[in-house]
Amino acid sequence: MATIDPTNKDSIARRVATYSYSLRALSPPDPLELGSAHNGEHARSNEKEQLQGLNERFSSYIDKVHYLEEQNRQLEEEIHALRRQKLSQSHLSGAYEQEISDLRSTLEQLNHEKNRILLDAERADEDIQRLRERCEEQERARQQVELSALGMKKDADGALVMKVELEKKIQALLDETNFLRDHHEEEVRELVAQLQAARVPVERGDFQKPDITSALREIRAQLDGLSSKKQNTAEAVLRIRYSVLTGAAEQNKDAIKSARDEIADYRRQLQSKNAELEALRGTKESLERQLGAIEERHNTDISSYQEMIHQLENDLRRTKWEMTHHLQEYQDLLNVKMALDAEIAAYRKLLEGEETRYKTFSGSIPNALASPVRPD
């Protein structure tokens, strides 16, 4: 914008004087001055009037110059004020831009934090799922161990029942063996007694022979025949019964041997079952100890897993609360950003209007200075 310097007053005055002198030089000669020389005083008076008019015009020019200088000063002050306002608004816009940049960086950080929190939440869900699967596996293993222990307990009870039955069978066989032995010995004693009873009368008859008279010889002969018949009959009966008893004894021996073999077999089975029972008892005790250890470890793991799940749930709730808080802050920052954008747009529009008005004033001042001033 072209401005009027106050030091240009002399140049303006010189321009006005030159202009007045050129007017005097170019003005047509007065016919009164050419007509008579004795009208000099009248010519001088006209010249004074012209000089007075020029002085008045010069004074009006000076007033106009002062007015234009005052207008120029006011315009300069307004321009400086607009520049200061524009500069302050540019600083304010820079501050707003810096604040918007900070808000954007904060928003990006919040987005990163949100993504990290979501990732941590997903990982926490995966950890909880893995812990639940491990708990289910531990529960299945515990159930299998309990089933195995129950089956072994049933086997041990069956072995104990079988042991009792075998002991009963052994006792029954021993009783039967003792009964057969006693019965056999009694029958043998009876046979021996019968044989001795059959032989005694004959021997007694022989002892009485020297004391009997001759009259009794016939009776003796008859008795000898009868005793021989009875002896033969008794011996036959004894042989038959002896053979029967011998066969029965052999059969009893075979039965006793079979019973003894069966008893030995039962004893071996009993010993095997006892050993198996002891092994099952040891296995049962070991499994019970393992089951107790597994249950204790399972309870400990469940407690730790429940504590971990509780902690993860608390972390998840805290994370959700932080996400909600960050989203609220993000919404507030977004609202502030929108308000700042609207305010910046309003300031920009205002600055554009001031720049347009400033350009209009800048274009009008040179035109006013460049236009020639005509005398009134």
Q: So what's the pLDDT on residue 184? A: 67
Q: Is residue 89 part of a domain?
A: yes
Give the residue, 210 or 223, on which the prediction is more confident.
223
Q: So what's the pLDDT on residue 365? A: 55
Digit-coded pLDDT (tens) for 220-236: 555 555 555 655 665 66
Digit-coded pLDDT (tens) for 20-73: 444 444 344 444 444 444 456 666 677 677 777 777 777 777 787 778 778 778
What percent of the chain is helix, strand and coil (3-state, nearest 5)? 95, 0, 5
Q: Which two tokens stand for residue 149?
A: 């222990």
At residue 196, does pLDDT exceed 70? no
Q: Which of 228, 187, 186 is nearest to 205 (CA)?
A: 228
Q: So what's the pLDDT on residue 29? A: 47
- 138 contacts: CB under 8 Å, gap ≥ 6: 294, 298, 301, 302
Q: Which two tokens stand for residue 219?
A: 């009776």
Give φ, ψ of 249 to 5 degrees: -65, -40
Q: So what's the pLDDT on residue 140? A: 83
CA dist 162 → 265, 267, 273, 283, 294 (Å) = 14, 12, 8, 19, 32
**DSSP class per residue in 219-263:** HHHHHHHHHHHHHHHHHHHHHHHHHHHHHHHHHHHHHHHHHHHHH
Q: Is residue 375 part of a domain?
A: no
How many domains in the chain?
1
Where in the sequence is the domain holding 163, given as residue range(s)?
6-370
Q: So what's the pLDDT on residue 157? A: 77
Q: Is residue 376 part of a domain?
A: no
Q: Is residue 324 part of a domain?
A: yes
Residue 128 CA to residue 308 CA, distance in Å, equals: 8
Residue 265 CA to residue 239 CA, distance in Å, equals: 37
pLDDT tier for residue 237 given thresholds of 50, 70 and 90: low
pLDDT tier for residue 211 given thresholds of 50, 70 and 90: very low
Q: So what's the pLDDT on residue 177? A: 74
